[in-house]
Structure 1
Amino acid sequence: MANPSGYVNLLNSQNPIDLESPEANWFASQVPDESGVKERRKWSPTKDKILIGAWLNTSKDPVVSTEQKADAFWNRIVDYYNASPHLVGTIPRKLRPCKQRWARINEQVSKFAGCHDGALREQRSGQNDDDVMKAALDIFFNNNGYKFTLDHCWRELRHDQKWCAS
């Protein structure tokens, strides 16, 4: 039955989104299903690690080095990502979702790296790595108002010069 007033109850027409989560649905890429309707695909920790590996390998390529335009650089990353044997049987990702996810990873890991460095500087005698990690997570939350959920990314990137303590 049609609604004569034109009123649409938006609370019942939307899927719930956890606005507190930095991994909210708008960071998932969209792909059409069998009916042509786009569905969102989330990034798993495994897929994040593959993207990180693709970015690191492409950015440190001694043959091409920095002698490449941004489009060529990102096309190589996407090709490397989609060629991963861990992704066999999955729908390939396109350039835009990969760039967006990398931007998210880079931003969050950079922020957390600073928090971790601060926690290391404040480390007291008797504190172990777990204590430092907890302190860094607390600093991140206090600075940003949400929990850091990309620790799997930080663990992949933390020894790279860009994310290391100075």
Structure 2
Amino acid sequence: MKSIKSGTLAGRFAHARLSAKSVLSNKDGLEVSIPNIIVAIVVSLVVIGAVVAGIVFVVPFAQDSTARSDLQTVQSAEQVYYAQAAPPTYGSGAELVAKGSILKSDKKIKIVAQGDLYCAGVLSAAGHYYWVFSKTTTVQDTLPTANPDTGAGMTCPTEPQIAASSDLK
């Protein structure tokens, strides 16, 4: 049999192969027992459970947060449009895009503007609806109803109107 020199690359591989073989075949080398296997399975299931929980709970929360942020962007765009309009009025989605107050988007956002009032609604990717109107600074998860703050005849977009299309195209 041909001898392999220990300082060569082939010698290192031969030594690694022999030591791995001796570890696996020797009773003292590698110890695998039922409790070790059970612990490994439990740890794996915990990791898988954490990933699933992240997908189920964190992703929809992030999608809803994005939708609320989109409405805050609409509020800012409406303020810019109102400040630049003569006479001061709020704009529809198409008017906001045309003036450069907001960028075009395919997101499900519907804006109703009537003079010095506006109401906007958005559909999040998680399937929840949110609204904001000109007399408040808070994003709501319920459709605003007619009240003295919204003005006479001011109506907010309904869920079917929001879901139908985007005003920011």
TM above 0.5: no
Report the TM-score when normalising by structure 2. Answer: 0.29
* Bigger relative contact order, structure 1 or 2 (CA pairs below 8 A, ≥6 apart): 1
Which structure is higher in helix share? 1
Report the TM-score when normalising by structure 1. Answer: 0.30
